[in-house]
Amino acid sequence: NKLCFTQSQYFMSFSRPVADFQLFVGSVIEDKSSDRSKPDLQLQTQRLAEKTVLQQVFKDGSEYGIKSELFSTLPRRKIIIEFSSPNIAKKFHVGHLRSTIIGNFVANLKEALGHQVTRINYLGDWGMQFGLLGAGFQQFGNEEELQSNPLQHLFEVYVQVNKAAEEDENIKKLAQDFFRKLEARDQQTLSMWQRFRDFSIEEYVRIYKRLGVHFDEYSGESFYQEKSQEVLKMLDAKGLLQKTIKGTRVVDLSEKRDLSLSSTVMRSDGTSLYITRDLAAAIDRMQKYNCDTMIYVTDKSQHTHFEQLFQILKLMGYQWAERCQHVSFGLVQGMKTRKGEVVFLEDVLNEARSRMLQNMASAKTSKELENPLETAEKIGLAALIIQDFKGLLSSDYQFSWDRVLQSRGDTGVFLQYTHARLHSLEQMYRNGQSTDINTACLQDPQAISVLQHLLRYDEVLYKSSEDLQPKHIVSYLLMLSHLAAVAHKTLPVKGSAPELAQARLRLFQAARSVLANGMKLLGIMPVTQM
């Protein structure tokens, strides 16, 4: 009897649901013999499939699933991803957490699939708010406080000057004067702004390190202040710039060209706006990187902004605007620390770490750790990321510390616990491991469930690569963890016959390897002890 299926057919079968696994096993057999022999052939094929999936996991390592037939015809692209983009001179707001971790996930996934990715942090480092901050610092600033805790002091100055501006029109005029000087490149004004920017980036780099996030380029609106004037000239030359009664300049985006829908691109005093600088940035990036795709990761309130941005680019004759994409996300509600309503991201990271340290100290299963603070940080971050990625990105969700930090259930803590447990098992038997195993030993339903789930990993990666939703990978990893936990409890390595023990150990290694791969794509660093 002959088993007639190619490796291509085999790997393409990964995209089928687990329920179809047995159907696939039978369908790939060209069998002309009696019906009585078919179950034996199906068993042979199943065992071959089981052995192959384990071999493939260890052969491909971190590229398991990515080397699948599903991605064999995928063209490799040059991709720019703009994400995080906090406003300088302000502490890193918790609202920027989603953009940062989602952008990081998209970049990780695209890079894993072989694309050339450039990660850009487009800082909010220009605009009228800096006029207000500059005027505010001249009124309320303190040099000593700026040196000791720069962003906290600037935040306090900004709050103070905003309050003052509500009561005093003169403050608003001073702010406008400051920003006009900034746009005119007045050296003294520019020097103050540069200090605020340098202090901010220094602080952000420290926070990004905690998040495990990096950027290839720190850009900002300030880079395009002069180029935005060139954009205005281009719009004017193409007949797209129109003057309103108020003296502002707009681009008509209405179908009937009756200004029923328009986008303001210049203030009446000649200064640029956010969208003007975004136009200049998009054109500059395309010229600099000659990329295939540009992806912007921001909250869904900016949906209209990006619609108009892409529309104006097309009106200017840039057909590549069709390949620009806005990945939007919803809002997080109810994120509080023990001290009350949270404002800054660092407060959230500290709270997650603190709560995990407390949970680890009170847990009976916790081990003596070399660096409990670092472990708690990684677990806390995993908890935040999994909570964020479980649903559709565009959905708002209610935040709950109790739910986020549960050690059981569908949480990041459970993923980390499963990984640490499987790693511990590997370490226990690291001296007696064999690569030549008999997968025929793995006939228990719990082992079969894990093997069948491992077969589906490429299908899940494919889904996420299509819609850029991390929820597919999250669901897969949570299910893998639950299946591995059940198998770990019911299929002991210790005390089993050597051949059976080796097969089970190899199964748990494969599960841990795929779990680690998926977690890293999501931006989670797996822990080996907890």
Q: Which residues are catalytic?
A: 90, 93, 96
Cα–Cα distance between 460 and 476 in angstroms, integer? 7
Query: 3-class SS at 214?
Result: coil
How far lies 438's CA from each of 71, 149, 214, 502, in Å? 30, 62, 43, 8
Phi, psi for residue 242 in degrees, rounded to 5: -125, 145
Phi, psi for residue 497 in degrees, rounded to 5: -60, 145
- The single-letter DSSP state of residue 333 is E
Cα–Cα distance between 311 and 296 in angstroms, integer? 15
Structure tokens at 307: 């619609």
Structure tokens at 379: 């677990």
Cα–Cα distance between 313 and 53 in angstroms, integer? 47
How do strand 78-82 and strand 116-123 relate by DSSP bridges? parallel
How far lies 493's CA from each of 12, 396, 422, 512, in Å? 32, 44, 12, 15
Cα–Cα distance between 64 and 306 in angstroms, integer? 36
How do strand 397-398 and strand 262-266 relate by DSSP bridges? unpaired
Taking residue 329's Cβ as centre, other Cβ atoms within 10 Å add up to 20
Cα–Cα distance between 395 and 469 in angstroms, integer? 12
Cα–Cα distance between 449 and 56 in angstroms, integer? 17
User: Cβ contacts of residue 194 below 8 Å, gap of 6+?
Assistant: none
Phi, psi for residue 295 in degrees, rounded to 5: -115, 130
Cα–Cα distance between 468 and 327 in angstroms, integer? 8
Cα–Cα distance between 208 and 459 in angstroms, integer? 31
CA dihedral 205, 208, 214, 220 (to 10 degrees): -60
What one-character-per-residue DSSP string does 219-253 give? EEGGGGHHHHHHHHHHHHHTT-EEE-TTS-EEEE-
Sign of CA dihedral 442, 446, 452, 454: negative
For helices 457-467 and 96-112, angle between their N-to-C axes, nearest 10 degrees:
120
